[in-house]
Amino acid sequence: MKTFNVGALRQAMGELRLNGASDLVQRTLAQHGLSLPGQQAGFQPPFAAPAARAPADPVPPGATLTSDRFACAAGSRDYLAYVPASADKGIRGMVVMLHGCTQDPADFARGTGMNALAEEHRLVALYPHQSRGENAQSCWNWFSAGDQRRGRGEPEILAQMTLDLASRHDVPRDRIFVAGLSAGAAMAVILGQTHPDVFAAVGAHSGLPFGAARDVPSAFAAMSGQGAPEAPGRRDAVPTPTIVFHGSADRTVHPLNGDRIAGATLAAGPVQTMLDKQTGTAGTRRFTRETTTLPDGRVLLDHWRIDGLGHAWSGGKPGGSYTDPQGPDASAEMVRFFLAQGQATN
């Protein structure tokens, strides 16, 4: 098997978009003897989901799960929104959940178990839907230059959708958070930079850093751990509080990308911080956790590295795609991190 070569890939792909037909991607790569890390030539699409999916989770009495469409000047997208039965006691916040490639909102909700956490903690859960009309593999277009800036493209659609739903459910403006898996995590990181006035914190699972790619070849390079994102110390960077999960055995998005998300978060923050490092085991997965705290006691970064975890949601539910029930519960840890925002520990 030949190793990944960006130059050869650029020539092979030509003008082919990442959202082009997967069969064409397969044939083009195979003709040049190329393959992604951990894949043989003739690979299946790297985000292919299981053929059969579990039925939708039941909605508790008093809760609502609504399917709707949002439109603004930047464009439109469908979404699912979960409002817990516990909302009558007052909404504490909102979590926007961005699915990965080939997934959909219902699948992502099942796999992450976020609706149950939303019920427990009185959160609204919003699941935007990337359609195949916008990307043939239903990926958020994190690699497109037009979808990495405020005021346009997918970041603006998602931010305006979030604000619209938040206003209708009286969500506190400083308690809105965003999380995602893979391409969804990459878009969540983008939102943390383009709309820090909307999103108070970011959860990135198996994702990529801001500015990691500008086109298709650089997207594949970034996924393989090659290339480099925009300088993490750039003057316009925002130190958005971030929790990062990444598996050491991820062959779709190289674990180096989790380190880069963490590095960019720290580089944008103050010079004086306190680092705490822990190791432990959850299920059969060992993990390393590094927590970076600001001088006032607030946590800026919570970085989890999970040994042996592939391209899957840590501690996820078996009813959804791209989940691994072993290891720390990423959903619960993200909600804990989100709800602690704004609270000093000293």
Which tens digits make up the pLDDT trace of 241-282? Answer: 999 999 999 999 999 999 999 999 999 998 889 999 999 999
Name the residue with higher pLDDT: 88 or 342. 88
Q: What is the rounded CA–CA span in Å between residue 223 and residue 182?
A: 10
Tell me what pLDDT residue 227 has.
Answer: 74
Which tens digits make up the pLDDT trace of 172-230? Answer: 999 999 999 999 999 999 999 999 999 999 999 999 999 999 998 999 999 999 876 65
Tell me what pLDDT residue 272 has.
Answer: 84
Name the residue with higher pLDDT: 54 or 38. 54
pTM of the predicted model as reported, rounded to 2 decimal places: 0.85
Cβ(65)–Cβ(40) below 8 Å: no
Cβ(334)–Cβ(203) below 8 Å: yes
CA dihedral 154, 116, 175, 97 (to 10 degrees): -10
Biggest alpha carbon–alpha carbon distance for the chain: 60
Q: Are strands 323-324 and 313-314 parallel, antiparallel or unpaired?
A: parallel
Indicate whether 34 pLDDT > 60. no
Confidence category of residue 57, pLDDT binned at 50, 70, 90? confident
Mean pLDDT (the chain) is 85
Sign, CA torsion 249/138/153/144? positive
* Alpha helices (H) in 143-298, listed in sequence order: 153-168, 183-194, 216-223, 256-268
Q: What is the rounded CA–CA span in Å between residue 239 and residue 255?
A: 21
**Taking residues 3-12, what's their average pLDDT?**
41
Name the residue with higher pLDDT: 328 or 28. 328
Indicate whether 69 pLDDT > 70. yes
Sign, CA torsion 129/77/148/219? positive
Which tens digits make up the pLDDT trace of 277-307? Answer: 999 999 899 999 999 999 989 999 999 999 9
For the chain, domains (ranges, CATH) are 1-45 (no CATH), 63-339 (3.40.50.1820)
What proportion of the chain, given as a percentage, has pLDDT over 70? 80
Indicate whether 23 pLDDT > 80. no
The torsion region of residue 296 among left (phi > 0), alpha (psi -120 to 50) and beta comes to alpha
